[in-house]
Amino acid sequence: MTAAPLQGRVALVTGGAAGIGLALASGLARRGAAVVLADLQGAEGAAAGLRGEGLAAQGVTGDVTSEAAVGAMVAAAEAHFGGLDILVNNAGIYATLTPKPFEELDLAEWRRVLEVNVIGTFLCCRGVLPAMRRRGGGRIVNISSGVAFKGNPYMAHYVASKGAVVSLTRALATEMGRDAVLVNSVAPGFTLSANVLNNPTLIAGVKEPSLRNRVIGRDMVPDDLVGAVCFFAGPDAAFITGQTLVVDGGAYFH
């Protein structure tokens, strides 16, 4: 593998201003890609930090549940860097959730989780397709979750949303192959991102069981996901589509 396997490629990372998204954007940029970081806030500051390290990055403020905002993200990639080759659908709702029994989850929270985690992913996938066709193909990496396979309790709306992302990945792979757009998913385990660390109730309920069930008995951090995402985005995954790779330290064998 070359030192810069993504040289000449342009990537859009949603939820890219902090935590897992920023780690992924940084990893892609360090492998040669020019990166657009999109987020509700902090995107330009995060991009400026990457530029300060000599990396190619731009920030865009936007909401993945808005068609207009998604269009602006794609337009920014083409305006700043000449095109778009890679989409990482990382934006999602998790770190702010409080685990609750199924019957205590209210309808408004269900709708918001599905709107961001599922509809947002749909809108971004649809939004990048014309730009990727103009480049002769592309890569989409959807961030799902290991909970889609384990069915974790007290987070039914989140589990359902990430199960939908896995299924959407498979469906899109069958349709987008004709356009040379490969669609795969990475499913993290419980990750100590910056936002998760700000939710002590979530940590209290999830961290210890996660550690107990892992073959690799340590906390998972955002950098643990970088290799898998960059693999799907890079040349070594040129004949892989419709797949989900679970990255959780061996808690679930998929």
Give the pLDDT of residue 2.
60
Q: Is 154 a catalytic residue?
A: no
Q: Considering the domain boundaries, does residue 59 fall inside one? A: yes
Residues making up the chain, counted from first to last? 254
State how far the Cα of 145 lies from the Cα of 89, in Å rounded to an integer: 12
Has residue 254 been placed in a domain?
no
Spans in the chain with pLDDT lower than 70 = 1-2
Q: Tell me if 125 is assigned to some domain.
A: yes
Calculate helix-pair angle for 43-52, 19-30, nearest 10 degrees. Answer: 30
DSSP letter assigned to residue 252? S
* pTM over 0.85, yes/no: yes
Cα separation, 87 vs 11, in Å, equals: 6
Phi and psi at residue 204, in whole multiples of 5°? -60, -35
- Closest C-alpha among 54, 53, 50, 51 to residue 21: 50
Two structure tokens written together for 207: 């961290």
Q: What is the DSSP string of 73-132?
A: HHHHHHHHHS---EEEE-----TT-----GGG--HHHHHHHHIIIIIHHHHHHHHHHHHH
* DSSP, res 220: B
DSSP string of 187-202, one letter each residue: EE-SB--HHHHT-HHH
The verdict on residue 138 lying in a domain is yes
Domain with 207 in it: 10-247
* Cβ(130)–Cβ(179) below 8 Å: no
Residue 131 in any domain: the answer is yes
Residue 71 in any domain: the answer is yes
Tell me if 95 sits within 8 A of 89, measured CB to CB: no
In a domain, 145, yes or no: yes
End-to-end CA gap in the chain: 27
* Residue 72 belongs to domain with CATH number: 3.40.50.720
Domain membership of residue 252 (yes or no) is: no
Read off the pLDDT of residues 43-85 as tens digits, 9 standing for 90 and up. 999 999 999 999 999 999 999 999 999 999 999 999 999 999 9
Total domains present in the chain? 1
